[in-house]
Amino acid sequence: MNIKTLIDLTMPITAQTPVYPGDPKPKIEPAATFAQDGYHVSRLVLGSHSGTHVDAPFHFCEHGWRLDDVPLTYFLGRGIVIDATGKAEGEAVTMADAAPYIPKLSPGTIVLFHTGWSQYAGTKRYFRHPYVAPDVIEAMLGRGVRTFFIDALNIDPPDGSSFRAHELILGANGVIGENFVNFERIDFDDPYIIALPLSLPGCDGSPVRAVAVQWA
């Protein structure tokens, strides 16, 4: 197969990349330079949930799968974009929004919640994002979905009042991806999604390089 369209869904990791309050802020600095050493090496300091990233079940479940336990198949597959644009700050994506898509879901489907909130990255409004209601997650888990991505800082409420979506998904040994971008550019059916984590044995999550592919 040939690639017809390739869309980068990844937020760049820089010192300005927004992080969940309290998480380590990314820091990238020279460790070796061409002028002094004859080559370049950079030192990276960042949290496991920096930029576009995935959460392994161990993130919220003491005995859940760690990153290296999660099958790589969870990080690539057919995507379904849930149109949740037009939501206000702190507003939930509800069953009314999700209902038209539920019959299309099956095991192996990657759900992409398109809130449009990635456009606010770098502003204070990015931290006042929409979230996904727990009954939506429950319905999708019931269809066999185990991979949930969102173009916002967090899949749960921005005020930290509940982490129910995290608890439901990770408790079912599913995975969550946050801080995705460019969902609005996926204007074709059945995008193939790839969001592979780094190989970090025993870890709770990892940054990813995520893309949507349209095959020719």
Domain ranges of the chain: 3-215
Under the banding of pLDDT at 50, 70 and 90, the label for residue 82 is very high
Q: What is the pLDDT of residues 26-35, one digit of tens each?
A: 999 999 999 9
pLDDT at 151: 98
Q: What is the pLDDT of residues 103-132, one digit of tens each?
A: 999 999 999 999 999 999 999 999 999 999
Residue entry with tokens 């576009």 = 52
| Percentage of the chain lying above the pLDDT 90 cut | 100
Under the banding of pLDDT at 50, 70 and 90, the label for residue 1 is confident
Please name every residue paired with 176 in a beta bridge, in sequence order, or none if there are none: 55, 148
Under the banding of pLDDT at 50, 70 and 90, the label for residue 36 is very high
CATH pick for 3-215 out of 3.50.30.50, 3.40.640.10, 3.20.20.80, 3.30.465.10: 3.50.30.50
- Whether pLDDT at 88 is above 90: yes
As to burial, measured by CB atoms within 10 angstroms (0-12 exposed, 13-18 middle, 19+ buried), residue 179 is buried
Mean pLDDT calculated for residue range 40-58: 98
- How many Cβ atoms from other residues are within 10 Å of residue 25's Cβ? 13
Structural contact between residues 67 and 202, judged by C-beta atoms closer than 8 angstroms: yes
The set of residues, in sequence order, having a beta carbon less than 8 Å from that of 132 and lying 6+ positions away, is: 92, 93, 113, 148, 150, 155, 156, 165
pLDDT at 126: 98
- Whether pLDDT at 170 is above 90: yes
